[in-house]
Amino acid sequence: MNASSEGAGVAGEGAGGVLAHGFRPLWSEGSALDGPGLDGPGLDGPGLDGPGLAEWYAAPAPWLRANLAVTLDGAVAGPDGRSGSINNVADHVVFGVLRDWCDAVVVGAGTARAEGYRPASRPVVVVSARGEVPPTLLGGGVERAQGSSDDVGGGTGGGRLPGDGLAVAQDGAPRDGCVECDGRGEGLVLLVTSGSAPGLAAARRTLGDDRVLVLGDESVDLSLLRAALAARGWQRLLAEGGPGLLRSLLAVRAIDELTLTVLPRLIAGEGPRLLGGDWLDVPLHLAGLLTAADGTLFGRWQPEYATYA
């Protein structure tokens, strides 16, 4: 995402700005925002303001929500390998809402590298098979980010709002006034990897032992991820990709919900699609559907793990 600051979608626009995008629920199961259904006059109803949009995306804790934006033909990145070249302003708004909702962001190292992730106002938890932290998360300038795979499962693309420009030094210490333990984990960067990762020792030297989570001996065991982060008080988790990490989280039934932005455009080409990796069949239940005035669709889909082996 080529955004100037994290959370700009809501905080930066205000209620009037959110209303301007014409967010209207088409379907919202079991919510105070229940609409008339997919065939009803939802498009003629009042648009949601900022608090209304946040309420529509409200979810209980613990909850792991995966959020990606895709074109109508399933692309999660444009020709430059970044999602910022395919998404739009309405998606930025919703992404800000989801970042405000979460306790921590989970992202594959390949995606974090491709998208230029930086430390943010929520902890950034990087999942890396090789035990390597992308350089943009280890320091450099504090200018805001604009816009080879190391994701568990492979794949790049998916992240859309890299961060808010906070930086950490090479030893992991916050810089530029960032307060590490402010109750929301501002500026924190953690690494999730395996005991056999080639970069494990270097990551521990760089981040510190307490910021490196070893989940699994020979490979990363993502079934342990939620409990490990809950132990730090982070129960509302936002996974931002890439496709390989998304597939791996689904494979271990770690995802409670997929919040998917469907952009009204086609890309074609050979770029990454929504899921990477081997074949996987996951039935989904539609829990909510929202539309914006520009034709972008926002869905809340919940896996029905009990219906498949």
pLDDT, mean of residues 27-31: 61
Task: Write down the pLDDT at residue 17.
Answer: 61
pLDDT band for 44, please (50, 70, 90 cuts): low
If one compares 46 and 163, the residue with the highest pLDDT of the two is 46
How far apart are alpha carbons 280 and 283 in whole angstroms?
10
Which string of DSSP letters, residue by residue, matches 131-193? ----GGGS-S--PPP-----STT----------SS--B-TTS-B-TT--TTSSS-TT-EEEEE
pLDDT at 233: 96
Q: 63: which 2 tokens? A: 């909850």
Position 161: which residue type?
L
The reported pLDDT for the residue numbered 240 is 94
Helix residue ranges, H only, the chain: 14-20, 50-56, 89-101, 109-115, 200-207, 225-230, 243-251
CB proximity list for 193: less than 8 A, separation 6 or greater: 127, 128, 129, 130, 131, 199, 200, 203, 212, 213, 214, 215, 220
Q: Which domains does the chain have, with CATH numbers?
A: 14-307 (3.40.430.10)
Whole-angstrom distance between the N-terminal and C-terminal Cα of the chain? 36
CA dihedral 213, 218, 224, 225 (to 10 degrees): 50
At residue 174, the pLDDT reads: 36
Residues 6+ apart with CB under 8 A from 156: 77, 81, 108, 110, 111, 113, 114, 149, 242, 243, 272
DSSP 8-class letter at 75: B
The residues facing 154 across adjacent strands are none
Closest CA to 274 of 230, 239, 309: 239
Q: What percent of the chain has pLDDT over 90?
A: 51
8 A C-beta contact, residue 123 and residue 147: no
Choice between 164 and 99, residue whose per-residue pLDDT is larger: 99
Token couple for 68: 């990606």
The per-residue pLDDT for 107 is 97
